[in-house]
Amino acid sequence: MKIRNGFVSNSSSSSFIVAFEKTPESISELNEMLFGDSTSFPDPYGDKKYPSLEVSEVVFNDMKEGEISEERAIEIISQGYFEGRPDFPFSELRSLYMDAEGNREKIKKIWDRENNETKKAAKNLFINFSKKLKNEKFFYFNYGDNEGDFYCAMEHGDLFYRLPHIKVSNH
């Protein structure tokens, strides 16, 4: 038996679909969009503050991957946990897994139904989100606390509060 001595982590990550009215052309322009006059980005779990330009540089570099389509946004949303996601049918599946081999087709139907309902809910979320906007361009970001305190702050610190966005938990 293996015994772990030391820190055990339950890491998380979150995906963000962010709408930009105008694609920033520089780090400083993005910094203004994200932080206004603020020069720091606070760690939501401690007393640390990160320079806003450092945070903006990471986001700016991530934007170089380009804008994403509506279809890609819906795919990203449907892969995580989001507001309005249908409840997963754990109790329905639990009893079927007792005889998984004999219930293979029933299990597959439940999984297919769950996937279809989730995709439909993700599409509705994105459509309702995007119809409030004009001609914004959508970008995808993913930050997680498994990459250290800095990225933990980016995931949990409400980084995009000044911009229209959807946050999807990938725990």
Q: Which pLDDT belongs to residue 163?
A: 97
Query: Is residue 84 included in any domain, yes or no?
Result: yes
Query: Is residue 140 included in any domain, yes or no?
Result: yes
Domain housing 149: 13-169
Query: Is residue 8 included in any domain, yes or no?
Result: no
Number of domains in the chain: 1
Residue with tokens 């305190």: 149
Query: Is residue 3 included in any domain, yes or no?
Result: no
Q: Which pLDDT belongs to residue 97?
A: 76
Mind spelling out the 3-state secondary structure of 40-64? EEECCCCCCEEEHHHHHHHHHHHHC
Query: Is residue 7 included in any domain, yes or no?
Result: no
Could you tell me the pTM of the whole model? 0.86
pLDDT at 1 over 50: no
Query: Is residue 154 included in any domain, yes or no?
Result: yes
User: How do strand 137-144 and strand 13-20 relate by DSSP bridges?
Assistant: antiparallel
pLDDT at 88 over 90: no
What strands, in cross-sheet order, belong to the sheet with 165-169? 137-144, 13-20, 165-169
Q: Which residue has the higher pLDDT, 3 or 90?
A: 90
Query: Is residue 24 included in any domain, yes or no?
Result: yes
d(CA 81, CA 64): 26
Q: Which pLDDT belongs to residue 10?
A: 67
Provide the CA 107 distance to its chain's centre, in angstroms: 28
> What is the average pLDDT across 93-106?
79
pLDDT at 7 over 70: no
Q: Which residue has the higher pLDDT, 139 or 93?
A: 139
> What is the average pLDDT across 28-36?
98
